[in-house]
Chain A
Amino acid sequence: MPLVAAFACAHTPQLLIRPPSEDRALVLRVHAAFAEVKRRLVAARPDVICIVGGDHIEGFFLNAVPALAVFVGRRAAGEFGRYRYAFDVHEPLARAVVEQGIEAGFDLAYSQDLPLDYAFYVPLHFTMPEPAVPIVPLYVNVYLPPQPTPRRCYAWGRTLRTILDARPERVALMVSGGLSHFPGTDRYSSPDYEFDRALLASLAEGRGAETERLTGAELDKAGNVELRTWITLLGAVGNARADVICYEPSWHHGNAVVAWPV
């Protein structure tokens, strides 16, 4: 059946484990936005959450770097500090995504054995309904150049939507990442807030298709390599007008939480 929900969530680890350098009030405002996502997710009654994340060189290292990948193991588990996560995977849906994605011409990698990246469990920590529903982790390479192009990510999102709409389950699509941040570089303390704000304004007007024309260089320049997961979702939701639940720019990271009608 058609998608029942679509969201994009920041996954900044400082939202989960806050160092003293992080503004507590800001973090709590992002948590409040996550709580709103959770409310809407609960109302949508999904059977499964398909969550698209950019790997932070966690699941995949330089020994093997897929552009697009699907996790088809039984459980998706990861740890961060004292947090331990383990999510059931919806195996029939995961397999369908791989099989039909390949049929549609996308050279997807798949794995049955990966540690789950914080890109997945940070948003799920705050938004997973109770009782928990199974997930399907989908990966987009964002950190190891050359990454898939925005055009390719958008096209993958379009195909993904077709696959998910044809399923019997109630599927919620979530993507995580962004917005502007420059970890590990000299620009760490000056994200491109202007880019983020202009982007969110265009998404609110339903102009998400414009992201298809962004180049990798433009994403690099804006500190938005992770936007590739959003672009995947935008391929799935087309010209739906975004509801920007929050944009909370910290000193090093533009934290956005957005919902789309489906």
Chain B
Amino acid sequence: MFPPASAYALNRLLFSLKSDPAFRDRYVADAQQVMDEAGLDAPARGALAGFDRDRLVALGAHPYLVFMAQLRLAMAREPGTFEEF
């Protein structure tokens, strides 16, 4: 089923990490500030800190959003490791 409404802020942040390059850059620069602005509670912040997939999903994060947010962050941090066509 779709994620619970209680996880909306968390899913919104993951969505922005995935889809918004400027947001992603701000998160890389200052994750705490970005999480403050997103209004995330302590469990969500803890799960995000280590990008703990199981904890994030247990909190209601959509697994695909977790997966792609992490991939996009990796691409932003280490662009040189990917081959483009």
Contact = CB atoms under 8 A, between A and B. Distances in A.
A145 B15 CA distance: 17
If over half of B's interface residues share one DSSP class (helix, strand or loop), that class is named, otherwise mixed; here it is helix
Contacts of A145: 1-2
Contact of B85 (A16, A19, A143): A16
Nearest to A225: B64
A24 B83 CA distance: 9
Contacts of A18: 82-85
A31 interface: yes
Contact of A61 (B1, B12, B66, B81): B12
A56 B81 contact: no
B52 to A, nearest CB: 13
Given A18-B82, A18-B85, A82-B84, A184 B15 contact: no
Interface string A15-35: 111111000100000010000
B1 A146 contact: yes
Query: For the side of the interface on B, what is the size category?
Result: 20 to 34
Contacts of A83: 84
A57 B82 contact: no
Interface of A: 13, 15-20, 24, 31, 56-58, 61-62, 65, 79, 81-83, 115, 125, 143-146, 183-185
A120 to B, nearest CB: 15
Contacts of A146: 1-2
Nearest to B57: A184
Contacts of A16: 84-85
A65 B2 contact: yes
Nearest to A59: B19
B68 interface: yes
A57 B64 contact: yes
Contacts of B63: 183-185
A145 B4 CA distance: 12
A115 to B, nearest CB: 7
B71 to A, nearest CB: 8
B32 to A, nearest CB: 24
Interface in B1-24: 1-3, 8, 11-12, 15, 18-19, 21
A58 B1 contact: no
B84 A57 contact: no
7 contacts: A17-B83, A19-B81, A57-B15, A58-B19, A62-B8, A82-B84, A115-B19
Contacts of A62: 2-3, 8, 11-12
B75 interface: yes
A83 B79 CA distance: 12
Interface string B48-61: 00000100000000
Contacts of B82: 17-19, 81
Nearest to A125: B85
A3 to B, nearest CB: 29
Of B1, B3, B67, B85, most buried by chain A (CB within 10 Å of CB) is B85
B81 A57 contact: no
A61 B64 contact: no
A143 B66 CA distance: 13
A81 B75 contact: yes
Given A62-B11, A115-B19, A184 B81 contact: no
B75 A17 contact: yes
